Amino acid sequence: MSFAPDITETLSRARADLRMGVPVVLSGAHGDALVLAAETLDAQRLADLHALGGAPVLAITARRAQTLKAVAYDGDTARILIDAGANLAWILGVADPADDLKTPMKGPLRAARGGDAVLHRMAITLAKTARLLPAVVMLDLPDGATFAEQNHLTRVDAVHAAPVLAVTSHLNPVVSARLPMDVSEAGRLHVFRPEDGGEEHYAMEVGHPARDTPALVRLHSACFTGDLMGSLKCDCGPQLRGAMAQMGAEGAGVLLYLNQEGRGIGLANKMRAYSLQDQGFDTVEANHRLGFEDDERDFRLGAEILKTMGFTAVRLLTNNPAKIAMMEKAGVRVTERVPLKVGENAHNQAYLATKAAKSGHLL
């Protein structure tokens, strides 16, 4: 018998630790490393890290490295060398593009070449899934197990973690209850909870959609600013209400409300992206400067919820062909794309044009 956390639970702990600024230890096939998220690093822990000696690096994505004109020897990842004199401001300056234009010269940045970046890549994935900036300070450890034990740190077995990080966590239905709404009095809200301790997602069932014919479905990604604040920078609010209205008018449908704020980068990072957009970058460039891909969402979880609810074919309300492709790949047939073109205004015209030009959205 063991009450010890399994690998999925240990990964969840590691994310929580990184968010708090507590280091974690990654143990791989060829060595161990101490990991700290750049965003939550403080001066004391940085001083402690320097005191350990060795050669710490700041692992960033190739996207961020490109902006900084650093060489990504590891393909999608770059290991930037941290000099003994590097202070917190320098590390944050490399990790966070907020002041790129004000203080463009952070380098020249030197990147590590030898060895591999398996643990670094995994640490960046952990930071991303913890909704932090994708930048982590790392130091090789001769004996990670002992170090973790002595310092009471979470230690992740990277070999076991890799396959877990590659798939979406299984979602369990938690509860559903009747929810009369303005678009339909016959509403039912279902809550789904992932096994990895991540954010819950919701399915809003409108009316009583049949399971044996394609249902009208919308996969909606959370947008606090658009859905709730009436932001004019995007079209999310009108899309949410438009989809609900259409389901109400047809008498049936399912709206999945997926908590993937900011195309999966979280609200804090989305606001960082907005700040870059105010400096003249478009929505895609802003994500790249932060070190993210254009779209970090995983729509497989939407497909999983639909299948759990008994839907195998849908009429999908979207302008995004990537959503259709992901649904089909995940085993949900899309029999029809139902366009959802609402909410264009003077503030979001350029944003919608960028999504059409760079992300393949249908106009």
Ligand X SMILES: Nc1nc2c(ncn2[C@@H]2O[C@H](COP(=O)(O)OP(=O)(O)OP(=O)(O)O)[C@@H](O)[C@H]2O)c(=O)[nH]1
Residues marked active site are found at: 295, 297
Q: Is 168 annotated in some ligand binding site?
A: no
CB 233 within 8 A of CB 282: no
Q: Comparing C-alpha atoms, which of 14, 272, 267, 260 is closest to residue 123?
A: 14
Q: Is 307 annotated in some ligand binding site?
A: no
Q: Is 107 annotated in some ligand binding site?
A: no
Cα-based distances in Å from 237 to 225, 233, 297: 8, 10, 19
Q: Is 36 annotated in some ligand binding site?
A: no
Sign of CA dihedral 207, 211, 214, 220: positive
Q: Choose the contact partner of 348 out of Zn ion, ligand X, none; CB within 5 to 8 A by kind.
A: none
Q: Choose the contact partner of 27 out of ligand X, Zn ion, none; CB within 5 to 8 A by kind.
A: none
Q: Is 150 annotated in some ligand binding site?
A: no
Q: Are strands 24-27 and 77-81 parallel, antiparallel or unpaired?
A: unpaired
Q: Which is nearer to Zn ion, 155 or 220 (CB)?
A: 220
Write 85-89 long-range contacts (CB < 8 A, 24+). 87/43, 87/46, 88/41, 88/42, 88/43, 88/46
Residues in touch with ligand X (CB under 6 A) = 220-223, 234, 236, 239, 260-263, 265, 270, 273, 283, 287, 318-320, 323, 361
Q: Which is nearer to Zn ion, 70 or 236 (CB)?
A: 236
Q: Which is nearer to ligand X, 188 or 361 (CB)?
A: 361
Q: Is 318 annotated in some ligand binding site?
A: yes
Q: Comparing C-alpha atoms, which of 329, 318, 325, 298 is closest to residue 361?
A: 318
CB-based burial label for 192 (10 Å; 0-12, 13-18, 19+):
buried
CB 273 to Zn ion: min, Å: 11
CB 221 to Zn ion: min, Å: 8
300 Rama class: left (phi>0) / alpha (psi -120 to 50) / beta: alpha
CB 26 to ligand X: min, Å: 27
Q: Which is nearer to ligand X, 26 or 326 (CB)?
A: 326
Q: CB count, 10 Å around CB of 193? A: 17
Q: Which is nearer to ligand X, 221 or 246 (CB)?
A: 221
Cα-based distances in Å from 103 to 68, 78, 82, 99: 11, 21, 18, 6
| Binding track over 188-227 against Zn ion, x by CB under 5 A | -----------------------------------x--x-
Q: Is 234 annotated in some ligand binding site?
A: yes
Q: Choose the contact partner of 323 out of ligand X, Zn ion, none; CB within 5 to 8 A by kind.
A: ligand X
CB 200 to Zn ion: min, Å: 20
Q: Is 198 annotated in some ligand binding site?
A: no
Among 33, 46, 236, 324, binds Zn ion (CB under 5 A): 236
Beta bridge partners of residue 290, listed in sequence order: none
CB 319 to ligand X: min, Å: 3
Q: Residue count at the site for Zn ion (CB under 5 A)?
A: 4
Q: Which is nearer to ligand X, 154 or 239 (CB)?
A: 239
| Distance separating the N- and C-terminal Cα atoms of the chain | 57
Q: Choose the contact partner of 255 out of Zn ion, ligand X, none; CB within 5 to 8 A by kind.
A: none
Among 234, 276, 326, 334, binds Zn ion (CB under 5 A): 234
Beta-carbon contacts of 17 under 8 Å, excluding residues fewer than 6 positions away, are 23, 24, 153, 154
Inter-axis angle of helices 158-166 and 118-129, nearest 10: 50
CB-based burial label for 116 (10 Å; 0-12, 13-18, 19+):
middle
Q: Choose the contact partner of 220 out of ligand X, Zn ion, none; CB within 5 to 8 A by kind.
A: ligand X
CB 180 to Zn ion: min, Å: 26
Q: Are strands 252-258 and 333-338 parallel, antiparallel or unpaired?
A: unpaired
Which residues make up each annotated binding site?
A: 218-223, 234, 236, 239, 261-263, 283, 318, 323
Feature table: binding site for GTP: 218-222, 239, 261-263, 283, 318, 323
Binding residues for Zn ion, rule: CB under 5 A, are 223, 226, 234, 236
- Extract the annotated binding site for Zn(2+): 223, 234, 236
